[in-house]
Chains A and B, each alone.
Chain A
Amino acid sequence: MIRAGAPVLLDVRELEASIGDKPILKGVSLEVRAGEVHAIMGPNGSGKSTLAKLLSGHPAYSVTRGSVAYRGSDLLGLSPEARAQAGLFLGFQYPVEIPGVSNAQFLRLAYNSVQAARGAEELDPLEFDDLVREKLALVDMDPSFLERNVNEGFSGGEKKRNEILQMALLEPVLALLDETDSGLDIDALRVVAGGVNSLAGADNAIVLVTHYQRLLNYIEPDYVHVMEGGQIIKTGDKALALELEARGYDWVRAEFDAARAAA
C-alpha cells in the first residue's frame, strides 16, 4: 500500500559492494516506506540475493561505497544480530540446518532475543509453546515440527514455511524474503504467500526477491524493480512483472543502455 508521507524504513543510496575483489553491487538505490511491498526481480547473478543478504549483515560482503539508512539511522555499522533485533528479517533462500538444536528451542531463543532488545516480555517454554502453536496454523505446520532439529531433514517446502513461521514470531518491521518461492509446489506457494500477506501491515514493509512472476499472483507488489549487473535498471508497478513474464529481461537492459547512451 503506497501512502504519501509514510515513514521511510529503508533508504539505500548508491550502494556498491563486493565479495572478495569481485564487485557485485554497482550503485543500488532503493527507498522503502512503511506499508509498501516491493519485488526485486532479475536474472541469475544480477545481485538481488546479495542485496538482501548484505542488508541483513552477511559477513561475506563488504561495502565499498554508498550508504544504507534504516528508520533514519545508519544500518551498515550494526552487527547482524543487532539488525534483527531492530526489526530486520531475512527469509533465507536456503535455510540452514542446525544439528542438535530443536526448532522449539531455536524459535524461543530467537523470539526472546528480539523481545529483550525491544524491552518486551520474554516467554518461558510453556508460554512460548502457546504462542508458537497459534503461529503454526498460519503456515499450516504440524506441531511435531517443533521437536525436530532446525531444518534438519525438512523438505524444501517445509523449510520455507519454517522461515515464514519465524517471520510471524519475530514480527519484523522490514522483511527481506530471498527467493521464498523457489522450490515450492503450488500448494506450498499458496500457504507461504498467505502467511506473508497476513503479516503485511501499514507499519511494516516487505521486500520480495524473486525470479518469477508467479509469487506476485499471490502477493501483490506496490513496486517492481528489475535488477541486472548489480544495478536497479527499471522500476515500475505490478504491470511490469507481467510484462517481464511475457517478454523476458533483455528489452529492459536494451532500454537502460539506450537511455544511458543518450544521457
Chain B
Amino acid sequence: MSAVIQDLVNRPYEAGFVTPIEADVAPRGLSEETIRLISAKKREPDWLLEFRLQAYRHWLTMSEPKWPNVHYPPIDFQDIIYYAAPKPKKLKSMDEVDPELMRTFEKLGVPMNERAALAGVAVDVIFDSVSVATTYKQKLAEVGIIFCSISEAVASHPELVRKYLGSVVPPADNYYAALNSAVFTDGSFCFIPKGVKCPMDLSTYFRINTQDSGQFERTLIVAEEGAAVSYLEGCTAPKFDTNQLHAAVVELVALDHADIKYSTVQNWYAGDENGVGGIFNFVTKRGLCKGASSKISWTQVETGSAITWKYPSCVLLGDNSIGEFYSVALTNHRQQADTGTKMIHLGNNTRSRIISKGISAGHSNNSYRGLVKIGAKADNARNYSQCDSMLIGSRCGANTFPYIQVRNRSAQVEHEATTSKIGEDQLFYFASRGVGAEEAVSMIINGFCKDVFQQLPMEFAVEATKLLGLKLEGSVG
C-alpha cells in the first residue's frame, strides 16, 4: 500500500505553465540604481524613494536569519530581477485585459468576470507585480472603502499610505522585511473607514510569472474605528527549475473596535519530488490591534513553496483586543516549513488563540514556531495554544517550538500539543470497511483540520479541502 500513498502525494503541480507576455524587465541585481529605477518606473514621490533607500542601506548591514529549521543553498541577491511589469496599458474594462492573461486566470480558476460577481468577491489581480484590473472598486467606493493596488494608493491617497506604511513592520524589522521595503513593486491597499463593515469579502490573487523575478509584494490593510473586513489571499505559481524568492510584507492596522480577518490559501510550486525548484516563501505578516477591543484573525492554509518561513503575528496593544491564528501547514516531498505566529500582549485583558495543524508527508520537515509574550503592563492577559502534528509515512519530520514569555503574574497561558500518525494500519482499517486510501486520507485530514477550516469563508474552505486532497494524493500507503 506504500505505493498507493506515494502516488497519492506525488501528483504533478497542475498550475505549471508560463504565460508568454512581454515583460518590462529591470536588469538583474540590486543596487541603489535598481531602487531608483523601480521608484521612477512607478512615478513615486520622494518620501517613498527615501523610505526604500533607507531600508536598502539598513538591509546591507543585516544578515540572513539562520535560526529557522530550514536548509537551502545561499541566495544570490544579485542574480534576481527586481522589477518586471506587463507593458503598461490603459484598461477601461475587463474586456481590454490581455486575452492570454485571462486564459491564465481561467486555468488557475480565478473567479473574475461573472464568477466574481456570483461569488460576491472583488478581485484585485496582481500579475507580475503590477495590478492589471480591479473589479468592484466602484461599489466599494460608494461606502468609502479604498481597495486598490498599493502603487495606485501611493498616487491617489499618499497621506494614508505614508501614515501607515511601515508602522507595523518597520523597514529594519528583519532581513526580508528590509529587502521588501527597499524593492517592493506592488501589492494591495485596503482602507475601511470608520464604522463601515465591508459588504463583501475582498480577494487578491497573486501569481508569479516572469522566471526569476523575485516577488516583493506589499499589502497594507487599515480598518478605522468600528470597521470590519474579511480579506482573502490565494496564491499559485508556474513551474520552474530555479528557485524563486518571495519576500512579501503584510501589515494590518485595526483601530478601536475594528475587526480584520485575513485568510490565505497558499499553493505555490513546491519543487519536484526531489526538491528541485519551488518557491522560497519568506514572508513577514503582522497585525497591530492598535485600538481598544479591536480584533485581528489570521487563517492560513499553507500547502506550497519549497521553503516556508512565515509567522503571521498580532501585536495586542489596545485594551481588550483579540488576536487569533488558525493554521494548516502541509508539507510533502522535500518541502520545508517553519511557520507559526507571535502573539504580543501589551494591553490589559488582551486575549489570543492559536490553533496550528501541521501535516508532514514524504521526506518533508514541518516545524511550528510560536511566541506568546505577555508584557509587564498587560494585566489579565490570556492565551490558549494548541499545536497538533500529523505524520504521514515514516520519513517525514514534525517539530514544535513554543516560546512563552510572561512578565505579568495575572496572565493565563495554556499550551497543548499532540502528534499522531497515519500509517498502513489506519488505511487498512478503512480499506477493510470498504473505503479506499484516497477517501480515507481525505477524511482523516479533514477531521484533523476541522478547527481551522471552520474559520475560512465557505468557498475558500471548499478549495482548501480539495487542495489538501490533491497535495496528498499518493502519499499514504
A242 at interface, CB cutoff 8 A? no
Q: Which of B1, B390, B420, B433 contacts A110 (CB 8 A)?
A: B433
Determine how close the nearest CB of chain A comes to the CB of B24; give it in whole angstroms.
49
Contacting pair A59 B424 (CB below 8 A): yes
Contacting pair A96 B429 (CB below 8 A): yes
Which chain B residue lies CB-closest to A94? B425
A98 at interface, CB cutoff 8 A? yes
CA distance A92 to B431 in the complex (A): 12
Contacting pair B431 A100 (CB below 8 A): no
CA distance A229 to B435 in the complex (A): 33
A57 at interface, CB cutoff 8 A? yes
Contacting pair A105 B434 (CB below 8 A): no
How many interface residues does chain A have, given as a range?
A: 20 to 34
Among B112-120, B126-134, B149-157, B441-449, which stretch is in contact with chain A? Answer: B441-449
Contacting pair A59 B1 (CB below 8 A): yes
A90 at interface, CB cutoff 8 A? yes
Q: Which of A59, A101, A114 contacts B428 (CB 8 A)?
A: A59
> Chain B's interface: helix, strand, loop or mixed, by majority?
helix
Pairs A–B under 8 Å by Cβ, sample size 20: A57-B428, A57-B432, A59-B2, A59-B428, A79-B431, A79-B436, A80-B432, A81-B434, A81-B435, A89-B432, A92-B432, A95-B429, A96-B429, A98-B426, A100-B390, A100-B420, A100-B445, A100-B446, A100-B447, A166-B433
Determine how close the nearest CB of chain B comes to the CB of A123; give it in whole angstroms.
14
A204 at interface, CB cutoff 8 A? no
Query: Given A99-B444, A99-B448, A106-B443, do A170 and B425 touch, yes or no (CB 8 Å)?
Result: no
Contacting pair A110 B435 (CB below 8 A): yes
Q: A99-B448, A100-B390, A109-B433 are in contact. List 11 more A-B contacts (CB 8 A).
A: A57-B431, A59-B428, A81-B430, A84-B431, A84-B434, A99-B444, A100-B447, A101-B444, A113-B433, A114-B434, A170-B433
Contacting pair A113 B429 (CB below 8 A): no
A117 at interface, CB cutoff 8 A? yes
B439 at interface, CB cutoff 8 A? yes
Chain A residues near B450 (CB-CB < 8 A): 100
Of residues 114 through 172 on chain A, the ones whose CB sits less than 8 Å from some CB of chain B are 114, 117, 149, 166, 170
A85 at interface, CB cutoff 8 A? yes
Chain A residues near B433 (CB-CB < 8 A): 84, 106, 109-110, 113-114, 166, 170
Chain B residues near A65 (CB-CB < 8 A): none
CA distance A113 to B428 in the complex (A): 15
CA distance A170 to B432 in the complex (A): 11
CA distance A37 to B444 in the complex (A): 35
A180 at interface, CB cutoff 8 A? no
